[in-house]
Structure 1
Amino acid sequence: MTPAQPLADLDTAALRAAHADFSAAYDELKAAGLALDITRGKPSAEQLDLSNDLLRLPDGEYRDAAGTDLRNYGGPNGLPELRAIFAEALGVPVPQLLALGNSSLTVMHDTIVQALLHGVPGGELPWAGRSIGFLTPVPGYDRHFTILERFGIRMIPVPMNDDGPDIETVASLLAADDSIKGMWCVPVYSNPTGAVYSEEVVRALVSLPAAPDFRLFWDNAYVVHHLSDERPAPIDVLALAAEAGNPDRPLIFASTSKVTFPGSGVAFFGASETNVAWFQHNTAAQSIGPDKINQLRHVRLLRDQEGLAAHMERHRAILEPKFAVVDETFRERLAPWEAGSWNAPKGGYFVSLDVLDGCAKRAVQLAKEAGIAVTPAGATFPYGDDPRDANIRIAPTFPPLDELRAALQGLCTAILLAESEALLAERN
C-alpha cells in the first residue's frame, strides 16, 4: 500500500500506485457481497424500543387534567399538558403552541398551501398566481426542497456558515427581490451540517428589511437531540422578532418523530398570536381535532420537561457512539490523504462530508455498486444540483454499530478511488 499523504501532492507515479491500491481494495469490497444502507436519518430499532410503553399507554385513561373526554371530537389546539412539556425547548408560550398530528412535514406542507391559497397576515395577495421565491440554506434538507419544487416555488441557495446562513447574502437577496416570501431554517443542529444559529444571526433574520409577508419557516426538528454536554443556549425567536417589529415573521415547527415513534408521534406549530389565529382559521376546515389519545400517551411517557430531557439522554447513549465511529473512520481513512472534510456535530442526526470537487456522485455510485446505499449526491441542494458535486450527507443513526462501521469503511474506499481517478484524469 502506498504511504498515505495528500493525494493532490503525489507525483503521477505515486498517484497511479495509490489508485491501483484503491482499485484492489474496491474489488475486494465488491466481492464481499454487502447489503448496507445509510441513506436516511431514521431512529434505530434500539431507539424505538425506548418508547415501547406508548404501546401500552394510556392504560385505560382517556381524560386530560381538566377532565375532558379525549375520545371525542374537539380540542383543536392539542393537550395543554403536552404543549407545556415542549414549550420551553421550542421557546413558544403554551397558548401559542399547537399540538397536532404526527408529522411536522405535513404541517409545513399545509402551511405553504394555505399561504399559496389565502396569503398570510400582512400580505395583500395569496402567494399563488405569481412568481415567488424561497431562500434555501445549503447544504440543506431535501424534503424542504421537495415541497417547494412541488409547487413551483423558486429556490435561491444561501451558503451556510457554522453560525447559520450567511447574513450578507440573505440581506442582499431580500433587498433586491420582494418576491422572496420565505426561508427555510433549521436553527439547532442544522440538517446536515450540524450548525447552530447564533443570536446575532437570528437577530438579523428577524430584523432585515423584507416583504411584509416574508416568513421564516423555523423547523426546530433537533432542538432536544443533543450528542454532548455542550448545549446551545436557547434563542427565543418569537421574542426577538417582536422586539424587531416583525412579530409575525417566524413560523415554528417541530415534532416528536425522533423522540418517540416517527409514524405515531406529535407535530407542533408555534407562532405569534396573529399567525396562530390565521393557522387555526385555515385548518378548521380540515380537521375537528388531532389524535388526543396519542397525545395523552406522550404525556404519560414523558411526564414533564425533566422527563423529556431524561428520555433524550437515553437516545444520546445510543447515538453518541455511532457519531464517534463516523469521525474515527474518516480520521483513519480520509484524513491521511486529505480526501475529505466533515463536521463533528454536537447534536442532530447527520454528518456533512465534503469530498474533492467533482467526485461526490462518482463515490456514491461506486459505493452503491459495492452494496452500500448512501444518500444521493446532490440531495442536500435544490433540484439535486450540487454545483461543486462535493457534498455527501452521512446518516449514521439507523444501522447497528458494526454495519455502520462496515458501510463507512466501504464508502471511504469508494471516495479514495473516485478522487484518485479524478486527479489522474486531470494529469492525462
Structure 2
Amino acid sequence: MQRENINTEQLLADKAEITAAYEELQGAGLNLDLTRGKPSSEQLDFSTELLSLPGDNFISPSGLDVRNYGVLNGLSELRSLWGNLLGIPADQVIAGDASSLNIMFDLISWSYTFGNNDSPMPWSVEEEVKWICPVPGYDRHHSITELFGCEMLTVPMTSTGPDMDAVRELAKDPAVKGMWTVPIFANPTGVTITREVAQQLAEMETGAPDFRIVWDNAYAVHTLTDEFPEVINVLELAEQAGNPNRFWFMSSTSKITLAGAGVAFFASSKANLDWYGKIANIRGIGPNKVNQLAHLQFFGDDEGVRAIMRKHAGSLAPKFTRVIEILRRRLSQYNVAEWTEPEGGYFISVDLLAGTASRVVELAKEAGVSLTAAGATFPLKQDPQDSNLRLAPSMPTIDQLEVAMNGFATCVLLAAIEKLESDAS
C-alpha cells in the first residue's frame, strides 16, 4: 500500500464522521469472528449423510473388511477416486486419516530425526536448516518449521506464484531444505501458481540433494465460480525434469466434508512413498478405513466431489461478494487499502498503510470484532511492514458479515487517520 496514493485530504476531512462511526460500533455490543477459515454450519450440513455411512456394509468393493487392521496406504478405490480428481495415478497416492497437516508434520519431523530418502544425514545434525516461505502465507505451515528451528526465508508472492528469481537464488544454498506452497487459491492471497512457475520449481537446481517442496493442495477444488481450476501434476513435471522426489503433494477432504473427520491424501514419487511407508508402518497399523469407505460411498466418484463443491461455492460465493462490495464502497475513495478478489479458497488478503495492521486488530477487538492477528501470515508472526491482514468470510452469516466488514472498514480508516496524524506531528 503506497503512502503517496492515499487520499489524505478526504480522509482527514471525514475524521469526525469516521470517529463517530467507531464510537457507535463500540456501543453495539458485537461479538463477531473473522479469524479462521472454518466451514459454516450450512456447509457442514452438506455432509451430514456421512454420519450414517457406511451403514451395515463394511466390505469395500474389492472385498476388504474395513473394520480390521492393515492396508497402510488406504482403500484402493478411494485412492483411485482422489487420483482421478487430482490427475495423479492411484499408485502414487496414499489415503490416510483426517489431517494433511499431521502428514506434513510427520514428513518434516522424520526428515529431522532420520533424514529423508535423499538425505546424506538427518536434518537434526546438519549445521543449519533453512526453509523458503512465500509471504503472505499459511500460519500453520510456518508454525511447523518454526517448531523445528528452521531459519525461515521469505519470498514475495506474485500474481503467478512465488517470486522465482528469489526462490532460485535461495535454493542454491545447501542448507535450504525445502519450501512451503499452497498452489491453488493460496492462503491467504487466493493466488494460483501457473504451470510455468510449477515447471520452474520442478526444474530448478538446488544445493541440497534432499530439497523438498510441500505442495499443499488444500483448496484444489474449492472454487467460488462454476469453473474448477487445472490441477497440475507436478509429480510428472518433476520426474521429467530429473527431480522425481522433489514434491510432497498434499490434499484432504477437511473443508469438503466434515472438518477434522475426513481423509487426508499424500501423493509423491515411489521412492518418497516407500520411505514414508517404512516409518508410518511402525507408527501405526493402518488408517481409519471405515471412514474412508464412508467417504467412498458418499462421493461415489470424482464428479461426486465436484457436486459437493458446487454446493460449497453456492454458500461461500455470496459472502465473498459481500465482503468485496463493502471494501470497495467504504475504502476505495480513500486508497488506504488493497485487497485480493479470489475465485476460490477461504480467504481475502488485505494490505493496509504500513504500520497500521496491528492497530486495526486492536480497534476491532475493542469494538467486538475478532480478526486474525497482524503478522499471522508471516514467519514468526512478524510482518516487517505491519500491513497485511487475512479475512475469513466463511463462518458468519451474510448479515453478520455486513456488520463485521463495515466495522472493519471503520477501523481501517481510523487507524490510517491516527498514523497520518502521528507521522505529521
Indicate whether the TM-score tops 0.5: yes
2:121 is paired with a residue of what secondary structure? Answer: coil
* Deviation of the 1:264 alpha carbon: 0.6
After TM superposition, the structure 1 = structure 2 runs for residues 274-293 of structure 1, keeping only pairs within 5 Å, are 274-293=271-290
CA contact (8 A) 1:183 1:216 kept: yes
Distance 1:217 1:90 in 2: 16
Read off the aligned partner of 1:32 and give its amino acid letter: A
* Deviation of the 1:22 alpha carbon: 1.2
After TM superposition, the structure 1 = structure 2 runs for residues 402-417 of structure 1, keeping only pairs within 5 Å, are 402-417=399-414
Partner of 1:202: 198
2:209 is paired with a residue of what secondary structure? Answer: coil
1:86 matched to 2:54: no
After TM superposition, the structure 1 = structure 2 runs for residues 103-122 of structure 1, keeping only pairs within 5 Å, are 103-122=99-118
Distance 1:132 1:194 in 2: 29
Distance 2:65 2:84 in 1: 27
After TM superposition, the structure 1 = structure 2 runs for residues 287-326 of structure 1, keeping only pairs within 5 Å, are 287-326=284-323
CA contact (8 A) 1:7 1:420 kept: no
Identical-residue share of aligned pairs (%): 47
Number of residues of Structure 1 aligned to a counterpart in Structure 2: 420
Distance 1:262 1:128 in 2: 33
Partner of 1:375: 372
Partner of 1:96: 92
Q: CA RMSD in A?
A: 1.2
Partner of 2:22: 26
1:57 aligns with one of 53, 57, 68: 53
1:384 aligns with one of 367, 376, 381: 381
Q: 1:71 to 1:10 in 2, by over 3 A?
A: closer
Read off the aligned partner of 1:8 and give its amino acid letter: I
* Deviation of the 1:236 alpha carbon: 1.1
Task: Identify unmatched segments of 5+ residues in structure 1.
Answer: 1-5
1:157 is paired with a residue of what secondary structure? Answer: strand
Distance 1:218 1:126 in 2: 22
CA contact (8 A) 2:226 2:310 kept: no
1:261 aligns with one of 248, 258, 262: 258
CA contact (8 A) 1:83 1:94 kept: yes
CA contact (8 A) 1:89 1:223 kept: no
Read off the aligned partner of 1:60 and give its amino acid letter: D
1:249 matched to 2:246: yes
Q: Residues 371-401 of structure 1: CA distance to partner in whole angstroms, max 9, x if unpaired?
A: 0000001000001111111100000011111
Q: Residues 166-199 of structure 1: CA distance to partner in whole angstroms, max 9, x if unpaired?
A: 0000011112x11000100100000000011011
After TM superposition, the structure 1 = structure 2 runs for residues 309-348 of structure 1, keeping only pairs within 5 Å, are 309-348=306-345
Partner of 1:3: none
CA contact (8 A) 1:62 1:71 kept: yes
Q: Which moved more, 1:251-260 or 1:121-130?
A: 121-130
Read off the aligned partner of 1:334 and give its amino acid letter: L
1:67 aligns with one of 43, 63, 68: 63
1:271 matched to 2:253: no
Q: Residues 4-42 of structure 1: CA distance to partner in whole angstroms, max 9, x if unpaired?
A: xx983434xx65432222111100000001000010000
Distance 1:8 1:297 in 2: 54
Q: 1:15 to 1:293 in 2, by over 3 A?
A: closer
2:94 is paired with a residue of what secondary structure? Answer: strand
CA contact (8 A) 2:95 2:264 kept: yes
Partner of 2:155: 158
* Deviation of the 1:103 alpha carbon: 0.6
Read off the aligned partner of 1:284 and give its amino acid letter: N
2:318 is paired with a residue of what secondary structure? Answer: helix
1:236 aligns with one of 233, 237, 247: 233
Read off the aligned partner of 1:280 and give its amino acid letter: G
After TM superposition, the structure 1 = structure 2 runs for residues 159-174 of structure 1, keeping only pairs within 5 Å, are 159-174=156-171
Read off the aligned partner of 1:337 and give its amino acid letter: Y
2:221 is paired with a residue of what secondary structure? Answer: coil
Distance 1:190 1:16 in 2: 35
1:280 is paired with a residue of what secondary structure? Answer: helix
Distance 1:99 1:420 in 2: 52
Q: 1:193 to 1:15 in 2, by over 3 A?
A: closer
Distance 2:323 2:354 in 1: 21
